Amino acid sequence: MSESPQALYKKILEISKEATVLASISGILEWDQETYMPPAAIGLRSQQIEMMAHLVHKHRISPRFKGALAKLIDLQTGTIAYDTLSQEQMAALREWRRDYLKTACLPAAFVKKLASTTSQALHAWADAKQHNRFRNFQPHLEKILTLLRKKADLLGFQEHPYDALLDLYEPEMTVGQLVPLFGRLKIALMTLLKNTQAKPRAHDQFLHQHYPPAAQMRFGQLLLKAMGFEAENSRLDQSMHPFCSGLAPSDTRMTTHIHEEIPMANFFAVLHEGGHGLYHQGLPEEHFGSPLGESVSLGIDESQSRWWETLIGHSYPFWQHFFPLLQEEFSEQLGGINLDTFYQAINIVRPSLIRIHADEVTYNLHIIIRFEIEKALIEGTLKTKEIPEVWNEKMREYLGVEPQSDSEGCLQDIHWAMGGIGYFPTYTLGNLYAAQLFETFCAQHPNWESRLHHGDLAFIRTWLEEKIYRFGRQYPPTELIQRATGHPLSEQPYIAYLTKKFNGI
């Protein structure tokens, strides 16, 4: 007797859930490594993480899983033969097939080779960055590129090998879409930057005094509570680099980093990671273990973090409510500062060399430089040895600043050493998605500023839940945005938002 579609679906879901539980264990190991693990345990931790990765991989390409999946969806064509399955179930099957094909097409030996190459490259990169010697990293990057071109071939693509890599982070996004989008964005941002730089710059020395760590943590906790987090199912800790482990809706862990003299870096990191956290908490718990319970892409995930960090967290009404509370916690440092001065200080536009310190206007120019370079590297139209020169040229042209060393230039980011080519564009896509969503949100909530001014954040969370969280991976990113906003993805809302904001400051 052959199994019913529902029985097969249940079987697939069960195996997928096992893999998800195993992956959530890796999540705990990684969180622990960055927060509380004694440093000497790093050797054992690497073994633990490697073993868990192996187990997750084994589950995801197991013949048991493939067998059940192939009975419901044609692995070649993606055709689903049964009409008794719900729309949601069919979406889950499509995503399972997508994941399965991407995993199964990479031979184990290739995956191992890539892992050992990037592992060595990471060490070489850290060393090259420290000693400002790009040429020590270059041969490693060369090897990575060769392997990534091979990876693109294995994964398959229609128009551009870069598409195969990009698709791992941002499903269905292509170079064909990015090039015109980023092209228009670049010109608009350069114009805007020129305009902002013509104005006198605000001062922000008062944000660079000593702000005690314990009080900083308290205020960070206050922000998360206001966003809707509860101690019952979330926590905030400290780590070298802020991150969010959305292990499950019942276990959301955010971290931040405290600089005693740069308090706003901490608070914006809290809002940023909190944005990721709300998304992961809002994913439908009943779909835990299926693609419908997962975040859809890095770009959408980033749209959620940037939403809270920038659109909300750098807005005037937000600080109308929170600045008095901040002053209460730091009366010595901020007692004599008024809201307008504070608002201008946190919104200073100042071209700089380092991406992660960039403001809302310049941030995406940093990303576009990286995208243009890595696309050319994959195409073979740019040689690795030419990177420093091209990097510095573009920095000068787009941002008007020039690195004095590769350490603060093309060696600043870890991504290429990790083999993460195709990752950078998701940062900018996150900003564009967020701004487009925000435009719709503002239209649907004309009184949002006054509600925010009074400390109401719940309605914002509810709106995002309605438009984004609850869908998991049911729709690809651009379709999700189209459904939420009624328009295809465009750079226009972002440019409009920036222009209005920075003309007003």
In whole angstroms, the minimum distance from the beta carbon of 229 to its own copies comes to: 10
* Beta carbon of residue 203, minimum distance to its own copies (angstroms, whole number): 38
* DSSP per residue, 210-233: ---HHHHHHHHHHHHHHHT--TTT
273 is catalytic: yes
> Binding to its own copies by residue 390, rule CB under 8 A?
no
The residue range among 34-42, 195-203, 346-354, 492-500 that interacts with its own copies, by the rule CB under 8 A, is 34-42
Window contacting its own copies (CB under 8 A); options: 8-16, 46-54, 139-147, 300-308:
46-54
Query: What x/- string results for residues 294 through 313 when contact with its own copies is judged by CB under 8 A?
Result: --------------------
Is residue 240 a contact point for its own copies (CB under 8 A)?
no
Q: Are 394 and 452 in contact (CB under 8 A)?
A: no
Q: Does 247 bind its own copies (CB under 8 A)?
A: yes
Is the Cβ of residue 255 or residue 478 nearer to its own copies in the bound state?
255
Nearer to its own copies, 248 or 367 (CB): 248
* Residue 30 interacts with its own copies (CB under 8 A): yes or no: no
Rounded to the nearest 10 degrees, what angle do helices 87-104 and 42-60 cross at? 120
Query: Toward its own copies, which CB reaches closer, 55 or 348?
Result: 55
Given the residues 273, 294, 372, 491, the one annotated as active site: 273
Q: Is 105 in the site for its own copies (CB under 8 A)?
A: no
Q: Which residues of 24-43 are buried (b: 16+ CB within 10 A; e: fewer)?
A: bebbebbbebbbeeeeeeee
Minimum CB distance to its own copies, residue 33 (Å): 10
Answer for which of 6, 34, 53, 55 binds its own copies (CB under 8 A) is 55
Determine if 83 is a binding residue for its own copies (CB under 8 A): no
Residue 159 binds its own copies, judged by CB under 8 A: no
Among 191, 197, 209, 250, binds its own copies (CB under 8 A): 250
Asked if 251 touches its own copies (CB under 8 A), the answer is: yes
Query: Residue 256 and residue 220: Cα distance in Å, rounded?
Result: 9
State the Cα–Cα distance between residues 208 and 406, nearest whole angstrom: 27
Stretch that binds its own copies, among 14-22, 87-95, 290-298, 370-378 (CB under 8 A): 14-22
Q: Cα-Cα-Cα-Cα dihedral of 175, 180, 185, 190, to 10°?
A: 110
Between CA 367 and CA 430 the distance in angstroms is 11
Select the residue interacting with its own copies from 76, 200, 232, 240 (CB under 8 A): 232
Q: Does 235 bind its own copies (CB under 8 A)?
A: yes
What is the bridge-based pairing of β-strands 244-248 and 234-238? unpaired
- Strand extents, DSSP E, 250-389: 251-256
Name the strand (E) or helix (H) holding 361: none
Query: What is the tally of helices (H) and strands (E) in the chain?
Result: 21, 3
C-alpha 313/C-alpha 346 separation (Å) is: 10
Query: Is residue 217 part of the contact set for its own copies (CB under 8 A)?
Result: no
Q: What is the distance between the alpha carbons of residues 46 and 53, in angstroms, rounded to a whole number?
A: 11
Find, among 30, 33, 29, the residue nearest to 42 by Cα.
Answer: 33
Contacts of 399 (CB under 8 A, 6+ apart): 193, 351, 352, 362, 365, 366
- 29 versus 80: smaller Cβ distance to its own copies: 29
* Dihedral pair phi/psi, residue 476, rounded to 5°: -65, 160
Nearer to its own copies, 24 or 412 (CB): 24
If binding is defined by CB under 8 A, does position 504 make contact with its own copies?
no
Q: Which residues are catalytic?
A: 273
What is the binding site for its own copies (CB under 8 A)? Answer: 18, 21-22, 24-25, 28-29, 32, 36-41, 43-44, 47-48, 51-52, 55, 231-235, 237, 247-248, 250-253
